Structure 1
Amino acid sequence: MKKGSRLEENEAILQSLLDDFLVTDAKGLILRVSHAMKQLYGLEEKDIIGESVYELEKQGVFTPIVTPLVKEKKERVTIIQTAKENKKFLVTGVPVFDEKGRLWRIATYSHDVTELANMKDYLGEMEDEMERVKNEIQILRNRYFQEHGFIAHSPEMKSCLDVAHQVASVDVNVLLLGESGVGKTQLAKMIHQESPRRKEPFIEVNCGAIPDSLFEAEFFGYEAGAFTGSSQKGKIGFAELAEGGTLFLDEIGELSLAHQVKVLKFIQEKTFYRVGGNKQRKVNFRLISATNRPLEELVEEKKFREDLYFRLNVVPITIPPLRERASDIIPLIHYLVDSFGKKYGGKKELEPQVMQELCNKEWKGNVRELMNVLERLIVTSSSNKITKEHLQSMNKKQKGPAVFQENSKSLTELIEDYEKTILQEAYIKHKTTVKIAEKLGTSQPTVARKLKKYKIN
């Protein structure tokens, strides 16, 4: 092919390029451009041949320019360039050297990336919006958990509550596991409140608190005159009271083997007979169970029925102890101090030393123990600031009743001291003499007289 023909061919190839192609000398004077220049930049070829790219940048045709970067680095450089009407171009500058290795020409080619740049900006805005929504959801989530009595900053507790939230809308048996005081009852209530049965009753049955001989009568109810001492009107049991709602069997691991059989049959068939009755009754309920005992070990030891265990353990949720979610302790303390302060009509503040000591405590009783300690501190401290002395004083009282020492108080005085301590604690927790009498197994007049005697009010 002749030289002229090759030049024509190169020119044809150059002009056929869709993108802008521009050649300058080493000083930035434009020597050649492709026909696409007008389409991309809105400039005629004749208007910019011989112009300096530096001058065009000053005029706002495009900025920044790639020429000085190529001259400095002596290598290929790619940049994002902005032109008129806020168009974006991906510009690459390529150095061309003469036979002596000196910079001779700079060839640049551009590609319109305005749409991509706009998409990037849009995606950036979307990411910001998603982050904002995510934060709002987290705030609402934390508020939701607090409304149900939970503080969940730790990943362990968040995971536990997420599972509970997911299963709440599904009528599936849930088994809540965890040490005493971690909040199993509270979590059961949360699941109920989030379920379609929220408007129906939540019936809690403490399987460990009902005497073995009375369990059937309490759980299934009894007909009139079913046994000596029974009510002549009969009694509706917990099972029947749960109609349409949620039946929560707390401390399920305390059930005797004999009663486990009856509870299993009831769970499977959702039918039962009252004690002394012959009419089969049917009940519709959602079951949640809880225990702090290792049911799997009890099954192996033949102390808990395997079939009942599998029936209960459809969705197990283990609530971690407080010592395993240390990041929740400080938020919990702040939340409880604020709550008890509002409840008892006074804002309290913990000294840093008190906060540190509370954070370092093992909390074998978990959240329940923490609540009791903080409630007692707030009620018994006379000042608005709770100091380390308040905590130490309370700890001494918690060690138990006084023991015998030479030249100590008399037996009567020691008994009265212990009685006073018990009544003080009961008054802090229950407030009314009727409730205190019920919890202590005595009469209301006796409680009222004792409170007056010890000046507890």
Structure 2
Amino acid sequence: MENENFFLSEAMRMNGVEKSDIETILVSIFHGSYDGVYVADKNGVGVMVNRAYSKITGVKSHELLGKSMETVVKEGIVSESVTLKVLEEKRPVTIIQTVRGKELLVTGSPIFDPGGDIAFVVTNVRDISDLNQMKNALYQSRKLTEKYLSEIEDFKKRELIQMHVDGIVAQSQEIMKVFHLARKVAKVDSGVLVLGESGVGKEVIVNYLHNESDRADKPLIKVNCGAIPKHLLESELFGYEKGAFTGADSHGKPGLFELANGGTIFLDEIGDMPVDLQVKLLRVLQEFEIMRVGGRKSIKIDVRVISATHMNLEEMVDKNDFRRDLYYRLNIVPIRIPPLRERKADIVPLAFYFLNKTNKKSKLNKRFHPEILNFFEKYHWPGNIRELENLVERLVITSDHDEIQIKDLPPNLLRGLEKTTTEKGKLKEILANVERKVIKEQMEESRTTRRAAMELGISQSALVKKMQKLGI
């Protein structure tokens, strides 16, 4: 210490600094420091504090000088005292201190006298609010990155579905849940019953189930049980032997179950199947063997059966129009496809999908006016996706201009649009009459617009504007 003082004195002497000036220089350095500095004596009483400390903490010098740090803590000026910790532990201590709501990094260092006792404690204070802001910004940035990564992953899943499924846009959460379930079910041979209104895209889901299964390279045979005459349905499904009935092929004919062997058979509109044929279908599902019409031996088959209907099979079971045991056999994994009106997020993307498809097929370049997209989103679509596809194709072909507008809609939809607009107009008129009546009554009672506005809970200027608009 003596050597350090010697070299300091020599340096000052060479620069023409007298010893009497040293105190002034040290005080100037003390107050010129960028960091806040607070000095306490061996009793923890404040003896010096620089301008930077007051600037950083907002605590004035008179609130600290001459006070013990115990008092300062009790008064709530600082959350805890690093000075008292240094006096207790007799070593440098660093803590995070809160001073009037501001977080600070505080380091206390002991200054020892020649006898080895603490004479003073020097505290350096640095504002870490900016550091905390950077930390919070970094945290928010990480959260945002995680969100974007999640969205990208979700987008990849949707894109994957669109790659495998032609003719469907999987944008909404509702349809994404359907595909998530379908992806899990596809890898097993359990029976699946696809439920949903006509036109929701049941066949597309069936295609997806087959393409994602281990049977993808085998046949997918589709049967519409409601489109085949009832007296021919059995022979179509199970085939027939030669001479089985008048007009039969002389060589016999394999049924659709045989043709689907190793693959998948899709029984659409299963609710239209006659009750007597349901018994035979149940046997096929239990034994996995069929017998041709007019035949005497069973034929083993290996098929995955997927069925679909827009009917309420549970009600049909209660009315004895559908066999309960067959219903349970088919309904191992039900997949309900929501109607288009419950999948609002899919409407516009689907419309553009069908627009591009029709433009390409017809070698046209039509586009949508924003108003018609707004109509698409508000329309209830009773015919679901099939109705949307047919409407878009019709609009592309029949519209006179490259931009498809509201006026290009079919007359029945235009009438529905006019009715909706009229009803909205009526609602606005009703609301205006109610407002007019309330304001008139309040004005009669209050006499002035200021008082009336106060009673109505709005500003005077807003009330005057409303009165002018309503013709009061």
For normalisation by structure 1, the TM-score amounts to 0.62
* Correspondence for 1:224: 242
SS of the residue corresponding to residue 407 of structure 2 reads: helix
Q: Which is greater in Rg?
A: 2
Q: How does 1:211-360 map to 2 (within 5 A)?
A: 211-360=229-378
Deviations 1:72-128 (A, max 9, x none): 6822289xxxxxxxxxx98423789xxxxxxx9786899xxxxxxxx9999888766
Amino acid at match of 1:308: L
Q: Quote the offset at 1:224 in angstroms.
A: 2.1
SS of the residue corresponding to residue 175 of structure 1 reads: strand
* Correspondence for 2:97: 93
Q: What CA RMSD, in Å, does the superposition of the two structures yield over aligned residues?
A: 3.9
Contact kept, 8 Å, 1:67 with 1:93, in 2: the verdict is no
Q: 384-393 or 237-246, which moves further after superposition?
A: 384-393
2:394 matches 1:391: no
2:388 matches 1:379: no
Q: 312-321 or 384-393, which moves further after superposition?
A: 384-393
Contact kept, 8 Å, 2:37 with 2:124, in 1: the verdict is no
Q: Distance in 2 between matches of 1:193 and 1:223?
A: 32
Amino acid at match of 2:37: G
Distance of aligned partners of 1:383 and 1:52 in 2 relative to their CA distance in 1, 3 Å threshold:
same
2:197 matches 1:182: no
Q: How does 1:18-97 map to 2 (within 5 A)?
A: 28=37, 68-69=56-57, 71=59, 74-76=77-79, 91-93=95-97
Q: Distance in 2 between matches of 1:286 and 1:134?
A: 35
Q: How does 1:166-177 map to 2 (within 5 A)?
A: 166-177=184-195
Q: Distance in 2 between matches of 1:383 and 1:68?
A: 69
Contact kept, 8 Å, 1:70 with 1:77, in 2: the verdict is no
Deviations 1:115-150 (A, max 9, x none): xxxx99998887666444423322222223334132
Would you say how many aligned residue pairs link Structure 1 and Structure 2? 324
Q: Distance in 1 between matches of 2:367 and 2:357?
A: 12
Contact kept, 8 Å, 1:70 with 1:76, in 2: the verdict is no
Distance of aligned partners of 1:31 and 1:380 in 2 relative to their CA distance in 1, 3 Å threshold:
same
Q: How does 1:385-424 map to 2 (within 5 A)?
A: 385-392=403-410
Q: Distance in 2 between matches of 1:71 and 1:175?
A: 74
Contact kept, 8 Å, 1:226 with 1:276, in 2: the verdict is yes
Distance of aligned partners of 1:105 and 1:247 in 2 relative to their CA distance in 1, 3 Å threshold:
same
Deviations 1:338-375 (A, max 9, x none): 22212221121122332233333221111111111111
Contact kept, 8 Å, 2:243 with 2:249, in 1: the verdict is yes
Distance of aligned partners of 1:353 and 1:249 in 2 relative to their CA distance in 1, 3 Å threshold:
same
Q: Distance in 2 between matches of 1:292 and 1:386?
A: 33
Contact kept, 8 Å, 1:92 with 1:108, in 2: the verdict is no
Distance of aligned partners of 1:94 and 1:341 in 2 relative to their CA distance in 1, 3 Å threshold:
closer
SS of the residue corresponding to residue 28 of structure 1 reads: strand
SS of the residue corresponding to residue 135 of structure 1 reads: helix
Distance of aligned partners of 1:27 and 1:245 in 2 relative to their CA distance in 1, 3 Å threshold:
closer
Q: Distance in 1 between matches of 2:51 and 2:328?
A: 80
Q: Quote the offset at 1:241 in angstroms.
A: 1.1
For normalisation by structure 2, the TM-score amounts to 0.60
Contact kept, 8 Å, 2:38 with 2:123, in 1: the verdict is no
Distance of aligned partners of 1:347 and 1:223 in 2 relative to their CA distance in 1, 3 Å threshold:
same
Q: Distance in 2 between matches of 1:235 and 1:384?
A: 52
Query: Which stretches in structure 1 are left out of the alignment for 5+ residues?
Result: 1-25, 33-50, 56-64, 79-88, 97-103, 111-118, 397-457
Distance of aligned partners of 1:121 and 1:370 in 2 relative to their CA distance in 1, 3 Å threshold:
closer
SS of the residue corresponding to residue 284 of structure 1 reads: coil
* Match of residue 212, structure 2, among 180, 183, 194: 194
Distance of aligned partners of 1:54 and 1:189 in 2 relative to their CA distance in 1, 3 Å threshold:
farther
Amino acid at match of 2:56: P
Q: Quote the offset at 1:327 in angstroms.
A: 2.5
Contact kept, 8 Å, 2:39 with 2:123, in 1: the verdict is no
Q: 306-315 or 376-385, which moves further after superposition?
A: 376-385
Q: How does 1:1-20 map to 2 (within 5 A)?
A: none
Q: Distance in 2 between matches of 1:90 and 1:185?
A: 70
